[in-house]
Chains A and B, each alone.
Chain A
């Protein structure tokens, strides 16, 4: 069974701080995605990483795919209250299905 473990599970920080969320697996994925989910809504895609070692930036968010394509990280610089939400990583299993991580709940305090 493919599993994606995220850490930390919960994170509460002050506005302006930096943070990193990790997504780890023993399985290799052909691609990995990060989603953000706000209360009462479905997850919204932030980024897809495909190549081992790939780094992508989305404003203050930096995503990295591990060299072996088994892990990924999300780094947020100078967090803002609008970054609050549930962050989910998801690895592509086969040709159509995503395996979702356990989630990291982030709260940024003003």
Chain B
């Protein structure tokens, strides 16, 4: 597509439930990233995909967080047994491989609220 698409844009869930967040990157962008942003602050790196593999998962905060990418395109970030501290905006970005110096293109994010 023309831009990075994320869905849903907003998600309210009860504590303890599982949630899935979806990211559809720009066509041809094999690099995909997930970041988390709390309270309008800076971005916290979660995971990096190159194609379908995730060579860097170092930012995932706990084993309740997982992500996958299929067909080198759509990615899903799953949070199991959600906690209130998981409330944040989850941002997805994509870029061409080897073009990191040209910056990421971000989606509009999914605002997750755990009640």
Tell me the A residues contacting B by CB distance below 8 Å: 4, 6, 30-31, 33, 35, 40-45, 48, 50, 86, 88, 90, 92, 95-103, 105
Interface string of B74-112 (1 = CB under 8 A from A): 000000000000000001010000101111111111000
**Is B45 a contact of A102 with CB atoms below 8 Å?**
no
- Rounded to whole angstroms, the CA-CA distance of A48 and B91 in the bound complex is 20
**Pair A42/B100 contact, Cβ less than 8 Å:** no
With known contacts A42-B108, A48-B103, A96–B31 Cβ distance under 8 A = yes
Contact A48 B101 (CB under 8 A): yes
Do B100 and A102 touch across chains, with their CB atoms under 8 A apart?
no
Taking CB atoms, residues of chain B closer than 8 Å to A50 are 101
How far is it, in angstroms, between the C-alpha of A24 and the C-alpha of B2 when the chains are bound?
A: 34
Residue of B nearest to A45 (CB): B103
